[in-house]
């Protein structure tokens, strides 16, 4: 039925009921939430502006080769900046690009210290490249570049044979004119085997390569590069005493162990088995690490 209201004068007038408009209502929970956000925003602003949380110290742990000064400079952290304004991820990214750094951890130590913990990149091998030695980790990261000449290292192809000479000099005449026992004397005075403490592994025959310190090395011959990475992962990492590796023919790899024992690896296959076999041979030889080990044919020939 329609609503009817009777006026005093007796006339009937129809007056429809008006619907009350209700504005949007905010519940108590919403109001509390907005208030909390405002409080949090005010606190964050206060933390960013107060000098209590300004960076005063950047501590560095785990470094022995890369200097603390170099790490702090590369981190990009500015003393006096607010500790909460420092992006820890950005610091990690910048330090990871350093050639001598492998892993990085960055933490805030309230109120004024940022702590950086690093592990340094240790090159597993040095790849000879036009007279330079490029340090490469097991993951292929370039740690740095040193001069081969500064270490007295040359390519095996450039080295003269031990008995090389034209025989025309007086010194050669004296050596040739001696007794058989005297002629064999140089072999008796062969250098002592080197160990991982005083030797590095130099890889030859990798061909053209491009590299930048802190980045992954790139070789023009991708198949050769793949063979080297597999060799590093399953063979060279198991024994750090190999001093030379020749990858010129990657299906017939040759190596030198501790500077005195020639090793013919052959193909880069069955590396785990070949390493176990090689370790048994080294144990059998004891301190007499001379001659040639052929891991492809499973033979050992003593030095004559």
Residue 76 has a pLDDT of 95
Residue 34 has a pLDDT of 78
Asked if CATH classification 3.30.70 holds for the domain at 125-156+193-301, the reply, yes or no, is no
How far is it, in rounded angstroms, from Cα 37 to Cα 109?
Answer: 26
What count of residues does the chain have? 304
- Tokens representing 127 are 């790849």
Residue 181 has a pLDDT of 38
Higher pLDDT, 195 or 261: 261
The whole-number average pLDDT for the span 56-69 is 92
What is the pLDDT confidence band of residue 268, given thresholds at 50, 70 and 90? very high
Per DSSP, 285 falls in state H
Rounded (5°) CA angle 119-122-124: 150
State the residue for tokens 């429809």: 16
The structural domains of the chain, with segments of one domain joined by +, span 51-120, 125-156+193-301
Asked if pLDDT for residue 250 goes beyond 50, the answer is yes
Q: What is the 3-state secondary structure (H, E, C) of 194-210?
A: CCCCCCCCEEECCCCEE
What is the pLDDT confidence band of residue 64, given thresholds at 50, 70 and 90? confident
Residue 221 backbone zone (phi > 0: left; psi -120 to 50: alpha; other: beta): beta
* Portion of the chain with pLDDT greater than 70, in percent: 73
pTM of the model: 0.64
Asked if pLDDT for residue 174 goes beyond 50, the answer is no
Asked if pLDDT for residue 35 goes beyond 80, the answer is no
| Helix residue ranges, H only, the chain | 28-49, 68-75, 88-96, 170-177, 180-183, 185-188, 222-234, 271-285
* Portion of the chain with pLDDT greater than 90, in percent: 53
pLDDT, tens only, 269-285: 999 999 999 999 999 99
**Superfamily of domain 51-120, CATH level 4:** membrane protein fhac (3.10.20.310)
How far is it, in rounded angstroms, from Cα 301 to Cα 232?
Answer: 26
Q: Which of 72, 64, 69 is nearest to 115 (CA)?
A: 72
Contact 250/268 with Cβ under 8 angstroms? yes
The whole-number average pLDDT for the span 127-152 is 90
Asked if pLDDT for residue 225 goes beyond 90, the answer is yes
pLDDT, tens only, 111-133: 999 999 999 888 999 999 999 99
Q: Which of 277, 123, 120 is nearest to 203 (CA)?
A: 123
- Tokens representing 264 are 């013919």
* Lowest model confidence (mean pLDDT) among 21-35, 58-72, 91-105: 21-35
Residue 22 has a pLDDT of 58
What is the pLDDT confidence band of residue 24, given thresholds at 50, 70 and 90? low
Q: How, if at all, do strands 113-120 and 57-61 pair?
A: parallel
């Amino acid at each position: 039925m329609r609503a009817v209201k009777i006026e005093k004068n007796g006339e009937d007038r129809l007056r429809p009921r008006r619907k009350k408009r209700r504005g949007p209502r905010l519940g108590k929970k919403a109001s509390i939430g907005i208030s909390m956000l405002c409080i949090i925003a005010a606190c964050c602003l206060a933390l960013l502006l107060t000098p209590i949380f300004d960076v005063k110290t950047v501590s560095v742990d785990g470094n022995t080769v890369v200097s603390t000064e170099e790490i702090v400079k590369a981190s990009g952290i500015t003393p006096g900046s607010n500790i909460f304004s420092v992006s820890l991820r950005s610091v990690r990214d910048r330090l990871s690009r350093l050639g001598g750094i492998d892993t990085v951890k960055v933490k805030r130590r309230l109120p004024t210290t940022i702590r950086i913990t690093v592990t340094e990149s240790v090159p597993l091998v040095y790849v000879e490249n036009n007279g330079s030695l490029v340090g490469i980790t097991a993951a292929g990261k370039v740690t740095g570049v040193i001069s081969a000449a500064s270490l007295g290292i040359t390519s095996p192809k450039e080295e003269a044979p031990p008995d090389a000479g034209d025989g025309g000099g007086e010194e050669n005449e004296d050596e040739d004119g001696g007794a058989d026992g005297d002629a064999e004397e140089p072999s008796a005075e062969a250098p002592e085997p080197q160990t991982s403490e005083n030797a590095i592994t130099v890889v030859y025959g990798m061909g053209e390569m491009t590299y930048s310190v802190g980045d992954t090395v790139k070789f023009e011959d991708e198949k050769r590069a793949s063979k080297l990475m597999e060799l590093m992962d399953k063979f060279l990492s198991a024994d750090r005493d190999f001093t030379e590796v020749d990858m010129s023919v990657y299906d017939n790899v040759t190596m030198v162990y501790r500077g005195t024992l020639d090793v013919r690896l052959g193909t880069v296959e069955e590396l785990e088995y070949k390493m176990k076999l090689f370790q048994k041979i080294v144990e059998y030889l004891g301190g007499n690490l001379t001659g040639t080990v052929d891991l492809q044919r499973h033979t050992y020939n003593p030095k004559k």
